[in-house]
Chains A and B, each alone.
Chain A
Amino acid sequence: MKHAVVSLTVNGAERQMLVAPGTTLLDALRENQGLTGTRRGCEQGACGSCTVLLDGRTVMSCMVPVETIDEARVDTIEGLTPPQGLHPIQEAFLEGFATQCGFCTSGMIMATAGLLAKNPDPTREDAVRAISGNVCRCTGYEAIIDAVLDAARRVSAAGSARAA
């Protein structure tokens, strides 16, 4: 088994990395790229705190061997955050008190980003399903579900403001 060179587009930038066999996307992001906004939780696909977008789909990055996704596009919480201020999803979480200790928050926000990319007008049930792979141990989820729905309204309003 040899190290391999993997090319990824991480948050819009071309990155090449030398990785040991079995390196997860989570480790590649945190250790190789220094992108620690993606949280390391259970490392077995049960908590969702490492959620990122892989070619636009939500995945748990701890479950993806990075060698298997050469040439893929990966988007993390760092890429979602604009240079100035916050993304509408982040604003919705902040203003809706949808975060307490904050450990699950970047995963929840990326799960929301993945949902809104394919379904800009989700129902409450859609929101519940979108975050069902993500564990929160503080909030009781209610504020997070409300924030996902509020984020949908904000993203859609920001979209129509750009179009006008």
Chain B
Amino acid sequence: MARLKGRGVAAVNYPTGMNLGGDPSQALVHATTTGSFVITLSSVDLGQGIKTVAAQICAETLGVPYDTVMVDTADTDTGPHCMGTFASRGTHRIGNAVIMAAREAREVLMSIAATELEVDAGDLVTDGKGRIHVNGAPDKGIAVLDVALAAHFKHGKTISGRGIFLKPKSEVVPETGEMDPDSCQAHACTVAEVEVDDETGEVAVVKMTNAYEIGRAVNPALAHQQIVGGAWMGISHALYETTEPYYPDRSHGPLDFSEYLMPGPGDLAEMDSVIIERPASNGPYGAKGIGEMTANSPIPAIANAIFDACGVRVTSTPITPEKILRGLDALRGQTN
């Protein structure tokens, strides 16, 4: 009886966005009286970090500090439209809409600053720290706060902008089958190393090495966390999760956290993840989507590693100890 070691590899090309009836998202950006900015979105942050990324993109485009940008995702009834957080689309779609809205707001911001400073708006730059000044003359400037005050109380203007990113629906060319369903594709590869116990059929994922080409990691720490969390979910899909009972009676099916099996803190694999950046021409600052794909390549990589370790090719998930033991029996020419 032995613990058999194996290594498997799998790769994925993953589309950003979807192609049902067109794929739009909108953003509105406006300045408050105190010179902070608010992005209004209907996009939901459920832990993936869209609020952080939207604020980063907005701050970069406006040329103001990140911590002066707030994100309001309060209500999908009253907010600007968003298709939703799915299809790995959030950063790309919403990010592009935020850039568009922030650019329009920046134009107003700079034109009011130019009026206040009595210079041409084309000569002005932002320092990213809350001031606007004449290019090359940092002393000839004005705080964003003072521009906001002047806009509200002197000029009667809103410093605001509207953004909508729309990927129109792509129809299939009937003759060739060609279509353009996504905006760009991210690429990833996983190498899984496993140990298979040939007596119990249990699989331990020892190490996962992940490489992701995602255009630009707008927030590398969030992107890294998506990879690690997604790889964990991949292990879970490959080896643990099912709503079906392992034995014929339906009443054996899992109903809750204590019965629906997923890997816990004691079942983790060592993770080594790298991000490769090849900016997408249509992405916000080059970003593509990294979301669903992180749980994809781990599954076939683990299945391949199990085959490499013990010669058993399992074609349905989860790959349970029972399936491996039956596979090993079949290889030995036994039948149960």
Q: Is the CB of A144 within 8 A of B49?
A: no
Q: Is the CB of A100 within 8 A of B257?
A: no
| Chain B residues closer than 8 Å to A135, beta-carbon distance | 257, 264
**Option from B221, B228, B258 in Cβ contact (under 8 Å) with A140:** B228
Tell me the complex Cα distance, A155–B241, Å.
Answer: 37
B37 an interface residue at 8 Å Cβ cutoff?
Answer: no
Of B229, B231, B258, B262, the most chain A CB neighbours within 10 A belong to B229
Shortest distance between the CB of A51 and any CB in chain B (Å): 14
**Option from A100, A129, A141, A142 in Cβ contact (under 8 Å) with B48:** A100
In the complex, chain A residues 64-107 whose Cβ is within 8 Å of any chain B Cβ: 97, 99-102
Chain A, interface SS category: loop
Q: Is the CB of B268 within 8 A of A140?
A: yes
B222 an interface residue at 8 Å Cβ cutoff?
Answer: yes
> Interface code B241-273, partner A: CB below 8 Å = 1, 0 otherwise?
000000000000000111000101110100100
In the complex, chain A residues 124-164 whose Cβ is within 8 Å of any chain B Cβ: 128-129, 131-132, 134-135, 137-145
Chain A: how many interface residues by the 8 Å CB criterion? 25
| Chain A residues closer than 8 Å to B271, beta-carbon distance | 140, 142
Shortest distance between the CB of A143 and any CB in chain B (Å): 6
Shortest distance between the CB of A95 and any CB in chain B (Å): 10
| Chain B residues closer than 8 Å to A143, beta-carbon distance | 225, 228
**Option from A41, A100, A132, A139 in Cβ contact (under 8 Å) with B266:** A132
Q: Is the CB of A100 within 8 A of B268?
A: no
A42 an interface residue at 8 Å Cβ cutoff?
Answer: yes
A17 an interface residue at 8 Å Cβ cutoff?
Answer: no
| Chain A residues closer than 8 Å to B266, beta-carbon distance | 128-129, 132
B232 an interface residue at 8 Å Cβ cutoff?
Answer: yes
Shortest distance between the CB of A99 and any CB in chain B (Å): 8
Given contacts A140-B229, A142-B228, A143-B228, contact A97 B221 (CB under 8 A): yes
B233 an interface residue at 8 Å Cβ cutoff?
Answer: yes
Q: Is the CB of A139 within 8 A of B229?
A: yes
| Chain B residues closer than 8 Å to A97, beta-carbon distance | 221-222, 224-225
| Chain A residues closer than 8 Å to B225, beta-carbon distance | 97, 100, 139, 143
Tell me the complex Cα distance, A135–B257, Å.
Answer: 8
Q: Is the CB of B232 within 8 A of A140?
A: yes
Given contacts A42-B257, A46-B257, A138-B47, contact A100 B229 (CB under 8 A): yes
* Further 11 A-B residue pairs, CB within 8 A, beyond A42-B256, A44-B258, A140-B231: A97-B222, A97-B224, A100-B47, A100-B229, A101-B47, A131-B265, A135-B257, A139-B225, A140-B228, A143-B228, A145-B268
Q: Which residues of B does A touch, CB under 8 Å?
A: 46-49, 221-222, 224-225, 228-233, 256-258, 262, 264-266, 268, 271
What are 15 pairs between A and B in contact, CB < 8 Å? A41-B257, A42-B257, A46-B258, A97-B224, A97-B225, A101-B46, A132-B264, A132-B265, A135-B264, A139-B225, A139-B228, A141-B232, A142-B232, A143-B225, A145-B265
Which 4 residue pairs are nearest across A and B when measured between Cβ atoms? A140-B232, A101-B47, A100-B47, A46-B258
